[in-house]
Amino acid sequence: MANNVDIGENIRRYRKLRGLTQEKLAEFSDLSVKFISMVESKKSQNISIQRLEKIADALDISLATLVSIPEKKDLSINDSRPYSKLLINRLTSMEKNTAELISKNFLDTIHLYEDLLNNKLK
């Protein structure tokens, strides 16, 4: 299996994870809708670093993330759980200590919710 980076697919994937249309991504990156569409549809893979940086900034991800081959964990999350997928992708794009703190707080909230449910059911 080839390990080629599909930048257009990465842009589409992260755009959809952020809930953005091509129009909004074009607006946020100060690029044209036509350009975004061409890149996503693989009609143009010749993209300058400056344009990639604008797109990465608009998607709130690093340039390295944008041009990386997606990890299997990103692809294994069921599409029927878009918020779970978005949460995991946001956490993995954060600084490690920040992501761990947010994850711990989120898990504490889940445990509190479960405790409340268990007490209601008794």
Q: Are 86 and 17 in contact (CB under 8 A)?
A: yes
Task: Kindly state the DSSP code that residue 94 receives in the 8-state scheme.
Answer: S
For tokens 């299996």, name the residue: 1
Region 1-70: CATH code = 1.10.260.40
**What percent of the chain is modeled with pLDDT above 70?**
84
So what's the pLDDT on residue 37?
94
Output 58 or 45, whichever has higher pLDDT.
58
So what's the pLDDT on residue 75?
46
So what's the pLDDT on residue 76?
47
Residue 109: pLDDT above 50? yes
- Average pLDDT, stretch 72-80? 52
So what's the pLDDT on residue 22?
95
Reduced to 3 states (helix: H, G, I; strand: E, B; else coil), residue 95 is coil
- Average pLDDT, stretch 4-25? 88
Instruction: Kindly write down the DSSP assignment for every residue of 19-77, as one continuous string.
Output: T--HHHHHHHHT--HHHHHHHHTTS-----HHHHHHHHHHHTS-HHHHTSPPPHHHHSS
- Going from N- to C-terminal start, the domains of the chain cover 1-70, 71-122
Residue 56: pLDDT above 90? yes
Instruction: Kindly write down the DSSP assignment for every residue of 84-117, as one continuous string.
Output: HHHHHHHHHTS-HHHHHHHHHHHHHHHHHHHHHH
Residue 14: pLDDT above 80? yes
Helix (H) / strand (E) element for 78: namely none
